[in-house]
């Protein structure tokens, strides 16, 4: 094993928690957009991240995602208990590969399925965490930008 010099992050460490978490897809092409939206759009610096393929899709009752659902419920309950979460943000994104490959949904009305899934996932998250502040957004591609639209849950 070769020795490497330790890398020191220039980002200052802030101890206090913001008591909010976001559940979103782990697709790295939109990771920085999610960060920008949560931190600057919603004013949630240092939010807790729950990232996995499909994000909130696994909380919408699809049987193909049952194992992920269990894992995410455990994580959320941990964050509520230990990090004192008060608010949870769900984000689905346009063209999410999880829908095409895992759920085998390639319908051109996929966005309607994703929006319905956000509503179902928000109700499920509220039930398993006992939190009332659960909100949802759809991340749309507009030319070379990503626009976050609020979804009524
Ligand atoms: Zn995705």
Dihedral, 34, 151, 146, 111 alpha carbons, nearest 10: 110
Q: Is residue 129 part of a domain?
A: yes
Q: How many domains would you assign to the chain?
A: 1
- What's the 50 CA to ligand 1 centre distance in angstroms? 13
**CA–centroid distance, residue 52 to ligand 1 (Å):** 8
Q: How far is the CA of 122 from the centre of ligand 1 (A)?
A: 18
Q: State the distance from the centre of ligand 1 to the C-alpha of 121, rounded, in angstroms.
A: 15
Instruction: Establish if 137 belongs to a structural domain.
Output: yes
The domain in which residue 26 lies consists of 20-151
The predicted model scores a pTM of 0.94
* Within-domain flag for 29: yes
- pLDDT averaged over consecutive 10-residue blocks of the chain (153 residues)? 88 96 98 98 98 97 94 97 97 94 83 96 98 98 97 97
For residue 9, tell me if it sits in a domain: no
Within a domain: 45: yes
Question: Looking at residue 144, which CATH number applies to its domain?
Answer: 3.40.1050.10
Asked if residue 12 is part of any domain, the answer here is: no
- What is the pLDDT, as a whole number, of residue 102? 87
In a domain, 1, yes or no: no
């Amino acid at each position: 094993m070769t020795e490497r010099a330790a890398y020191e992050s220039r980002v200052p460490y802030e101890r206090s928690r913001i008591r909010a978490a976001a559940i979103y897809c782990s697709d790295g092409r939109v990771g920085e957009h999610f960060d920008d939206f949560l931190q600057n759009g919603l004013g949630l610096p240092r939010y807790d991240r729950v990232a996995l393929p499909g994000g909130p899709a696994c909380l919408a009752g699809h049987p193909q995602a049952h194992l992920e659902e269990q894992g995410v419920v455990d994580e959320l309950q941990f964050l509520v208990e230990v990090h004192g979460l008060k608010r949870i943000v769900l984000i689905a994104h346009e063209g999410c590969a999880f829908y095409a490959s895992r759920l085998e949904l390639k319908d051109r009305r996929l966005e309607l399925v994703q929006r319905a899934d956000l509503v179902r996932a928000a109700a499920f998250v509220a039930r398993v965490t006992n939190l009332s502040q659960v909100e949802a957004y759809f991340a749309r591609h507009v030319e070379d930008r990503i626009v976050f639209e609020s979804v009524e849950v």
